Amino acid sequence: MNLKNLIVTTFIAFSPAALAELNVIADLGGESTQAIFEAVNRQDTPPASAATPEQGEAAMLPVTTSELSPGNVAPRALQLPGIGSLFIIGDDSYSRQWLQQNVQLLSARNAAGLVVNVESMASLESLRSLAPGLQLAPSSGTELARRLQLTHYPVLITDSGLSQEVGP
């Protein structure tokens, strides 16, 4: 340690601020948080039974995204580095046909699917049966529709653009 650092350290250690007492500005009362920490630290209780993914998804249904409906989407360039490949579909004949026609190309791209309009678990499972190996998750598409100015699906979104054409 050089002399300058020693002087600064000594000054800070013996300054009046370093010797000041703690002053309580306000005590608003309230309840003790001890019970919360005891619950967190409790190790001897058995874990609660975990819900299966299907139970979680079933609780999310139905999913309705009023901002999006089946229809034609004009291709457009985007700059979304790192997004990978994501597609949006619904539970309708247009989406089903698009999914069946593009399942191999979507699989090759490791694309993940959002089902933005679906009523029941049976409908979701029916869509999944059309695309074995692809991830399909029920999800609201409101935020994506707003941010990407989308009104229709099915659509594939990649880091470079969006389109209904899935080609290589």
Question: CB under 8 Å to 116, separation ≥6 — which residues?
Answer: 63, 65, 68, 88, 89, 90, 139, 140, 141, 153
Residue among 146, 126, 150, 147 nearest 138 (CA): 126
H or E, element range at 40: helix 34-41
Per-residue pLDDT of 3-49, as tens digits, reads 444 444 444 444 455 555 666 555 556 666 566 556 555 545 555 55
Q: Which of 7-16, 97-106, 137-146 has the lowest mean pLDDT?
A: 7-16
**Do residues 113 and 135 touch, judged by C-beta distance below 8 A?**
yes
- Asked if pLDDT for residue 57 goes beyond 50, the answer is yes
In this predicted structure, what is the pLDDT of residue 47? 55
pTM above 0.85, yes or no: no
